[in-house]
Amino acid sequence: MTIRRTLGALILGTSMLATEGCETAPPPMVRPAAFTPLGVSAPYLFGDVIGGRKARVAKMRAAKIKPLSPAAAGTYMASLDRELREQTAGIGLDVLNLGSSVVIRVPATFTFDAGSAVVKPQTDATLLEIARTVKTKNQTFVDVLAHTDTSGNPQGNQALSEKRAAAVATYLNKHGVGRSRIASKGYGESLPLYSPDTTETEKAANRRIEIRLVPYTG
């Protein structure tokens, strides 16, 4: 199987780890090496929370959210990771456990049409499942990261990605995730999974939303 075919199957299918314990899910797929640089180990996924930790902690404190102790953070995030995998199994999302955070990668199939920042009606059930878990695990920062494909121009794509990130952040807030926990950021076309993106499958993969959950330890 070529790398391109494997990547297409990975983005549109269930993640390897999400299938664990689910008898009706597709068989696990091997994540190809070419996916790694921006797929699971890109520096932006491991950076500070959007807006800086000091400012975000102040908002969490103002909302009277109790921080986790450093010793409890690992168990808490493992539980969150497990719940997300169980709740989204078979949907077609990619749940990534990065050690210091959990990232839910949502392909454009479930979020936006090309050139649009309007969350599609058929997406409602998918994001609602995510919101149900995220709102109960309130001792986490919630970063919404949005990306575009390389169609159009960089300036327009940057603005579009910011609107998309804000749209998903607003959706999560309306469905119970505290505003004090959420920040959003658009990356435009600067961090593609496919470069170049020459097919619609590749473009749809690049038009992704990532919801990063980081433990709030005060």
Q: Could you read off the pLDDT of 166-197 as tens digits, one per residue?
A: 999 999 999 999 999 999 999 999 998 888 88
Q: In this predicted model, what pLDDT tens digit does every residue of 20-75 receive, in sequence order?
A: 444 444 333 344 444 444 567 788 899 999 999 999 999 999 999 999 999 999 99
Q: What are phi and psi of 103, to 5 degrees?
A: -120, 130
- pLDDT at residue number 138: 96
Q: pLDDT > 70: what percent of the chain?
A: 82
- pLDDT at residue number 4: 41
Distances in Å between the Cα of 108 and the Cα atoms of 100, 114, 134, 188, 202 are 25, 8, 20, 14, 10
Going along the chain from its start, the domains and CATH numbers come out as 3-215 (3.30.1330.60)
- pLDDT at residue number 167: 93
Q: How would DSSP label each residue in the chain?
A: --HHHHHHHHHHS--TGGGTT-TTSPPP----GGGHHHHT--GGGGSPPTT-HHHHHHHHHHTTPPPPPHHHHHHHHHHHHHHHHHHHTTTT-EEEE-SS-EEEEE-GGGS--TT--SPPGGGHHHHHHHHHHHHH--SEEEEEEE---SSS-HHHHHHHHHHHHHHHHHHHHHTT--GGGEEEEE-TTSS-SSSS--SHHHHHHHS-EEEEEEE---
Q: In this predicted model, what pLDDT tens digit does every residue of 139-153 receive, in sequence order?
A: 999 999 999 988 889
Of 16 and 117, more confident: 117
Smallest CA-to-CA distance from 10 within 209, 201, 200, 213 is with 201
Whole-angstrom Cα distance, residue 163 to residue 197?
22
Contacts 24+ apart (CB under 8 A), 1-5: 3/32, 3/34, 4/202
Q: In this predicted model, what pLDDT tens digit does every residue of 64-103 receive, in sequence order?
A: 999 999 999 999 999 999 999 998 887 778 899 998 899 9
Q: pLDDT > 90: what percent of the chain?
A: 49
Smallest CA-to-CA distance from 206 within 218, 195, 216, 217 is with 195
- pLDDT at residue number 6: 38
Averaged pLDDT score across all residues of the chain: 82
- pLDDT at residue number 207: 85
- pLDDT at residue number 28: 39
- pLDDT at residue number 39: 64
